[in-house]
A and B are shown apart, each in its own frame.
Chain A
Amino acid sequence: MNLIFDIQKSIEDNYDQNAFCISNTYYTYKDFAKVISGIRKVIQTSIKETESNVGLITNDDIQTYASIIALWLEGKAYVPLNPEFPVERNNMVIKQAEISTILDSSIDKVFVEYNTAQTKDSTSSEIDLAPVKVSNDDLGYIFFTSGTTGTPKGVPITFGNLSGFIDAFWKLNYTITNTDRCLQMFELTFDLSVVSYLAPILKGACIYTIPKDEIKYSYIFELMEDYELTFALMVPSILHYLRSYFDEIDCPAMKFSLFCGEALPLDVTEEWSKCVPNATIANVYGPTECTIFCTDYTYKRGGENKTHSGVLTIGKDMKNTTTIIVDEENNEVNIGESGELCLSGAQLTPGYWKNEEKNKEVFFYKEYNGEKVRFYRTGDLCNVDDDGDILYLGRVDFQAKIQGFRVELSEIEFHAKAVLDKINVVAIAFNNKIQNTEIGLVLESAVFETKQLVDDLKLKLPQYMIPTQIKFVDSFPLNTNGKTDRKELKKLFS
């Protein structure tokens, strides 16, 4: 497995370089190697060889990142568990992924009822980064995303998938070297975090993280200016937060400014390009199922950029991905016609974790260039132009993106209905004043105090899925097909 050897080699080659800057403290690659080696010993003594999926409490510290590498060197997958998520949701993930051991760097164990291996003091002067035998089919991680029936679904990604991604990523020529300073702004439960730590590690660059108690967008700005960051992958909602302060931002050191996870509007991108005058700006796209991202578009400074409704194109598929756009019968549509975007290639997950029903729904085989190829239906409505650039038009289903997190509106409705007594509910995604997406909830009921409802939802759902506004209507309006008119209900929110 070359990827794991590449990680080993890069760490060993860069012992004197800084690997991480966490809360203004630097750690060199040698420090990192020592912590990895210490955690490997913990893994070897407290986790059975047969346990392939290991839970990982996602703290913002060197031990948590070292745990990921240590698990990979041992040929094991990590399943991130955010300690701020509701216990019930984490329990569901632990059960589904068949986790029996959790690596935890916290002072006090987050989960007392599971076998926890504590890593806070793990370090070893005997550095050992030689990997065990790892194959392309072994899993590197499983990330859980919002599911329609109240149960999150697991997306397993193999080392083969990850290698396919990394190979295609380098081909984009968004070059990183061991003198670069890279932003890692993502929760480790979000797969954009993976490229944000893995690409710098593979080149011996330094990774700058965001402490959990800081306000993200203003902290990112300070990191960019004070440490002269050179590489940053962000979600576009950060730009919406920063937009009213753009005149204060000047980051000439930035070389590559990438965006992913949500629609990227052209007007904000143009304004942003002045804050990072020397940077190549790119819009990348991809679902967790196709390993981090799989299409790419480089923004043209001062040139024509393709858009739909003001949203920048997501560009062309990357080296190891094939994209097609299909109708409801999985037939390819003509150039310019809209349909559902489908993905295939080395980055595509082997399928949802133990969820045959969902797999049958979204994965299908199709003759493509004379071969039988497995495709994934993204749920994204797109079309492609003569140059092969893909334009994102919207969702075909009821999904929303909240700060880059994928949210099934029906999952929120499911939990709201479960705690309310026979009251009909609709969850709506709407854009607020600064063009960030929020969740609104409409209840078909007379007005009542909703604190209890919100408190109950907080026990089931992560913070980003909690509705920020709740409205009441006597009866839901219907559209011409006799279905609840969500567009009409959306007008209740601003």
Chain B
Amino acid sequence: MEAEVIKNRISDVLISILEHKNFEMHDELTARDVDGWDSLSHMMIITKIEEEFSIRFKLRDLNKLKNMGSLVSVIQSKI
């Protein structure tokens, strides 16, 4: 799947959980840059992304998700 397509789908997940779209999708985007993306919502976002792409992250994958770019490449490696 193309990175752009993946990003759009992640963006939809973020909007549905955080209930706002005050962020711009780019590779360097981190949780810190996005309002409401804290440790509590992180868990929900991860679960929703797993459902969206029918994948399952390993615990070790979670620490690799430093920014949007790395999230996209971990997803790509699983689908």
Which residues of A pack against B, CB within 8 Å? 213-216, 218-219, 221-222, 241-242, 245, 248-249, 434, 436, 438, 463, 468
Contacts of B43 in A (CB 8 A): 241, 434
Contacts of A218 in B (CB 8 A): 59-60, 62-63
Nearest Cβ on chain B to A84's Cβ, whole angstroms = 11
- Determine whether the beta carbon of B63 is less than 8 Å from that of A219: yes
Contacts of A468 in B (CB 8 A): 40-41
- Determine whether the beta carbon of A215 is less than 8 Å from that of B42: yes
25 chain-A/chain-B pairs, Cβ below 8 angstroms: A215-B42, A215-B62, A216-B39, A218-B59, A218-B60, A218-B62, A219-B63, A221-B59, A222-B59, A222-B60, A222-B63, A241-B43, A242-B59, A245-B58, A245-B59, A248-B58, A248-B59, A248-B60, A249-B59, A434-B43, A436-B40, A438-B40, A463-B38, A468-B40, A468-B41
Cα A215 to Cα B41 in complex, Å, equals: 12
Contacts of B59 in A (CB 8 A): 218, 221-222, 242, 245, 248-249
Nearest Cβ on chain B to A227's Cβ, whole angstroms = 14
Closest A residue by C-beta to B41: A468
Cα A216 to Cα B63 in complex, Å, equals: 9
Nearest Cβ on chain B to A428's Cβ, whole angstroms = 16
How many chain B residues sit at the interface, stated as a range, is 10 to 19
Nearest Cβ on chain A to B36's Cβ, whole angstroms = 9
Contacts of B63 in A (CB 8 A): 214-215, 218-219, 222
Nearest Cβ on chain B to A235's Cβ, whole angstroms = 13
Nearest Cβ on chain A to B39's Cβ, whole angstroms = 7
Closest A residue by C-beta to B32: A213
Closest B residue by C-beta to A463: B38
Q: What is the 8 Å Cβ interface bit string for chain B, positions 31-62, against chain A (1 contact, 0 not)?
A: 01000001111110000000000000011101
- Determine whether the beta carbon of A215 is less than 8 Å from that of B40: no
Cα A215 to Cα B46 in complex, Å, equals: 12
Q: Known contacts A213-B32, A218-B63, A242-B59; can you find 19 more A-B pairs with CB under 8 A? A: A215-B39, A215-B62, A215-B63, A218-B59, A218-B60, A218-B62, A221-B60, A222-B59, A222-B63, A241-B43, A245-B58, A248-B58, A248-B59, A248-B60, A249-B59, A434-B43, A438-B40, A468-B40, A468-B41
Cα A483 to Cα B58 in complex, Å, equals: 47
Interface centre among B41, B59, B60, B63 (most CB of A within 10 A): B59
Nearest Cβ on chain B to A218's Cβ, whole angstroms = 4
Nearest Cβ on chain A to B31's Cβ, whole angstroms = 9
Cα A395 to Cα B62 in complex, Å, equals: 35
Cα A434 to Cα B40 in complex, Å, equals: 11
Q: Rank and list the top 10 A-B pairs by shortest CB-CB distance, nearest first.
A: A218-B62, A245-B59, A221-B59, A218-B63, A248-B59, A218-B59, A222-B63, A468-B40, A215-B62, A219-B63
Contacts of B41 in A (CB 8 A): 468
Nearest Cβ on chain A to B77's Cβ, whole angstroms = 17
Q: What is the 8 Å Cβ interface bit string for chain B, positions 67-79, against chain A (1 contact, 0 not)?
A: 0000000000000
Cα A436 to Cα B44 in complex, Å, equals: 12
Closest B residue by C-beta to A468: B40
Cα A415 to Cα B37 in complex, Å, equals: 23
